[in-house]
Structure 1
Amino acid sequence: MLYNRILLAVDLTDESIKVAHKAVALCQGAGAELIMLHVIESLNYAYTGDVPIDITNIQDQLKETAQERISILEAQLDIPFTETFITQGGIESEIHRIAEEQKADLIVVGSHCRHGLALLLGSTSNGVLHGAPCDVLAVKVSP
């Protein structure tokens, strides 16, 4: 089965380039379109409730920094992106939403090797896998 629309979900850490190269190779092999997504976890969501201060400026700075890092990542790759998204909210739910809206047939995410308590509590790649509207490829990255 070949993929037509691949969604690359990146956390913009240093390991993102390894995940991106894997997605690019898949796109080139299948002739697929590549969509990039970065989700900024809402501070309200991260702290499971209302934050008693105005966090608008902080969220704007996070989005600006994410756009800069995405531009750097795009410049390192040999493929044009069909679209690039920076969204805010719950990471897994936003990845699912964008994958569904964009009719992606594969989601590529990085998987940090978790052990012990972190493994029991789950990971983003595991959360993406459960409930995804399409196939998911978790690319193993070193801690």
Structure 2
Amino acid sequence: MKLLIALDNNTGAQHIAEAGYKLAEALHAHTVLLHVTSDATYYASPNYSPILGYNNFNNAEAVQTDTSEKLKVAAEDYLDNVKWSLGDKTIETVVKEGDYTASILETAEEIKADMIVMGTHSRKGLDKVLLGSVAENVLHHTNIPLFIIPVKPAEAV
């Protein structure tokens, strides 16, 4: 059995990784961590980090880069740190570039995932319309069971 955990390196990502890994352990499943980036040339805005997304610069791990290769290395380092924190050397890591939903679905198919674990930031209203919901898009385009973990913004806690 394989369990794919999609992470975005947002403030709740460690919680998602830990909850997903506990589920994988309970199911005796092999764990694969995934992080999806977009083309680094689109990150001209000072309010956007290709690893963290919008408005996450309070986080010390914010990454600004000008090349896809540097972005990939930063994402790989991030996943390696998550893997290390979970304490399991058998965890696989995958970094993809492109559309978040499509990359998650493609990776799940490629690795023959039995379940996908991901978080949702519980956006509502205009934020959801403008930014969309990756979790909702994955849910509507897969037959693979999906375990969604709600992640509340720091100010909502």
TM-score under structure 1 normalisation? 0.82
Task: State the superposition RMSD in angstroms.
Answer: 2.2
User: Could you tell me how far 1:12 is from its partner in structure 2?
Assistant: 1.5
Partner residue of 1:132 out of 142, 151, 155: 142
Q: Is the 8 A contact 2:7 2:35 kept in 1?
A: yes
1:88 aligns with 2:87: no
**Percent identity for Structure 1 against Structure 2:** 31
Deviates more, 1:96-105 or 1:122-131: 122-131
1:40 counterpart residue number: 37
User: Could you tell me how far 1:124 is from its partner in structure 2?
Assistant: 1.2
Q: How many equivalent pairs are there?
A: 132
Deviates more, 1:9-18 or 1:92-101: 9-18
Deviates more, 1:131-140 or 1:19-28: 131-140
Q: For 2:120 and 2:27, locate their aligned partners in 1 and report how far apart those are by CA, in whole Å.
A: 23
Letter in 2 for 1:95: I
Deviant stretches of 4+, over 4 Å:
43-46
TM-score under structure 2 normalisation? 0.75
Q: Is the 8 A contact 1:100 1:133 kept in 2?
A: no
1:81 to 1:116, Cα distance in 2 relative to 1, 3 A: farther
Structure 1 residue runs of 5 or longer lacking an equivalent are: 47-55
Q: Is the 8 A contact 2:121 2:151 kept in 1?
A: yes
1:60 counterpart residue number: 69
1:5 counterpart residue number: 2
Question: Could you say what secondary structure the match of 2:81 adopts?
Answer: helix
Deviates more, 1:75-84 or 1:14-23: 75-84
Letter in 2 for 1:34: T
Structure 2 residue runs of 5 or longer lacking an equivalent are: 44-64
